[in-house]
Structure 1
């Protein structure tokens, strides 16, 4: 096939790639041709489609808080932001809040995080042990010192619906999607050459690597840069509870185990121990994790969960950045026209609105115009300056 040209090629068309494409196509100062290359057009194995899909401002780093403050505003207006011919998408956003719980030894960290979150405008409540019991009477607080609950602006939503809404809007704005695997090279004129498995070649001055853990590191290596981003399996379990528990949030136990409402029941999960967390090579569900760790932990924290009816379960992946569990976003020093949006480590859905907007600004204007995403740049790897999150879930 003959070589074609594009102004921007985005490799990876799940929520991040489609957000970048959509935001770029919506800009008045950009009229170039955008092509999205997606190796898994059915989105069967991408992290976006298998996520528990939630959003929070309860981070310990300012950049992650600010990204999600914008994200919740965007999700609240999703119908307006991504409407196509009067058809307004819905993602069933439920602002039930995160509830982070702390034992006495960790209560100081929770208080410090809460102060930063408040200073940046997040609507987070801080509660001592008695306050937790009053607000959540079904909660066992005997070993707890405090907790923080997102009063507004935190919750869960239809992540697959968000991804498809970005994709539909991008296509409506003339973004072309190609189903193929991609390989990257550079020609003598300085353009990137994107060779596709369908036999086509695309020449473009700009490539955005949104290919996730499955393809992103290989694309980086072809461009001449190394990243340690790997897929880590995360299982999600569902169950029904006989008792009705009012005002149930997305609860984060001090152990890291989480549970939240879903329909008439609940979903839950937990990262396995580090020595039992190999790179993901299949989507088999680890039922022993539920039986031996998750259920006992939840039954201890919420006594009503001692009697439950387990339901369906599934496995997905986190695109884990082994450097610091935060994404690489933006340009790469010495690689003109090569941009990253990789390694979101479980936060991609909630961060996709701000990252899509930010990369669109960077590509179209040469600089971030709203929220400065440079703290997430690849430069921090070169200078060995990781972003340290104190509450990694």
Structure 2
């Protein structure tokens, strides 16, 4: 392969491939792009194992804006990422998110709704009687309010989105290599090359760290500390004997979530911080479903008392311990290293806007269409977390 590239992207899943695709599609960019991917099967990446959904129901404006762009992109993916007459179909289902609030959570839900609606999100607040009327299978006991995305929220084929970005990037001339980046060569305070595990060197003008759960380790090679750790998340599936019509992606006040998947459902929850250690294994703990998830779901949706458990799997978040938001943009003290890390489970839905934004930053030296600077590394240096209350 050519040993000199203008941009080397470390990580070829949905983020790396989105950045590569947007770079190659920018009329102002005429350089060479190389994407390094250590596992071209993509079997263990978050893009393949995620619940793959998109929502505008966030409490931070930048996250709402990123997802508003994201849903427009996903709706138009057939046109945007067409290759040789083949139009990708990711099975986008705008089934909505339904966040449920207990009495102590009502004020925060109303505040978040004002922000979301003000930015153009189509989200309605429903009191318990309205919830019961719209979703007769729902037990509204103990609820104060519900927040329902009417349009622009739902789920899709995350692996399909990643592959669509990858195919389009390759069609635009981006090179992919099966290789693992292990270090950086520095010249005059700038990166001059990337060192690979096999000992070879790739000269480059800029590097993007989009290495997912390996992002923190790679950042260390440039002397940068990312508060990003690998955390395991498990997804469980089941079928239900009774009809639960028009079920959205429902998030109980406890944090347990469920959504339709084919003829059945998938569900999960995030453990409390004290029970959430760093983890690299893919073992499934079925007691999580039996003892924590199912009892909550059966109480909230009585039809779920009669279910048949199905397949379950585990994947990993690149969790940003600082504030559970992405870390994007120029790295401190290394001007030609760009960070794209710590998505904390929101990477698939944020990939279209983030890929476009980082491509703009590399080519034009600034964010052109959406200012992603609130997610920059400076907030870590200044000790100013961008707190996101709506983390699932």
1:185 Cα deviation after fit: 2.1
1:3 Cα deviation after fit: 8.2
In the alignment, what sits opposite 1:61?
60
Query: Retained in 2: the 8 A contact 1:50–1:316?
Result: yes
In the alignment, what sits opposite 1:385?
384
In the alignment, what sits opposite 1:208?
208
In the alignment, what sits opposite 1:194?
194
Change (3 A) 1:7 1:270: same
1:188 Cα deviation after fit: 2.9
The whole-number CA distance in structure 1 between the counterparts of 2:331 and 2:198 is: 28
Query: Retained in 1: the 8 A contact 2:93–2:156?
Result: yes
The whole-number CA distance in structure 1 between the counterparts of 2:380 and 2:199 is: 35
The whole-number CA distance in structure 2 between the counterparts of 1:19 and 1:150 is: 26
Which whole-Å deviations, capped at 9, do the CAs of 1:116-170 have from their partners, x for residues lacking one? 0000000001111111111111000011011000000000000000000000110
* Aligned residue-pair number: 391
RMSD: 1.1
In the alignment, what sits opposite 1:315?
314
Which whole-Å deviations, capped at 9, do the CAs of 1:319-349 have from their partners, x for residues lacking one? 1011110110111232111000000000000
Change (3 A) 1:230 1:191: closer
SS at match of 1:163: helix
1:201 Cα deviation after fit: 1.1
SS at match of 1:6: strand
The whole-number CA distance in structure 1 between the counterparts of 2:331 and 2:282 is: 32
1:250 Cα deviation after fit: 0.1
Query: Retained in 2: the 8 A contact 1:192–1:207?
Result: no
SS at match of 2:187: coil
SS at match of 1:84: coil
Which whole-Å deviations, capped at 9, do the CAs of 1:10-67 have from their partners, x for residues lacking one? 0000000000000000010001000000111111111111100000000000000000
In the alignment, what sits opposite 1:128?
127
In the alignment, what sits opposite 1:86?
85
Gaps of 5+ in 1: none
Query: Retained in 1: the 8 A contact 2:230–2:318?
Result: yes
1:217 Cα deviation after fit: 1.0
Gaps of 5+ in 2: none
In the alignment, what sits opposite 1:137?
136
- 1:326 pairs with 2:325: yes
The whole-number CA distance in structure 1 between the counterparts of 2:356 and 2:380 is: 23
The whole-number CA distance in structure 2 between the counterparts of 1:230 and 1:127 is: 37
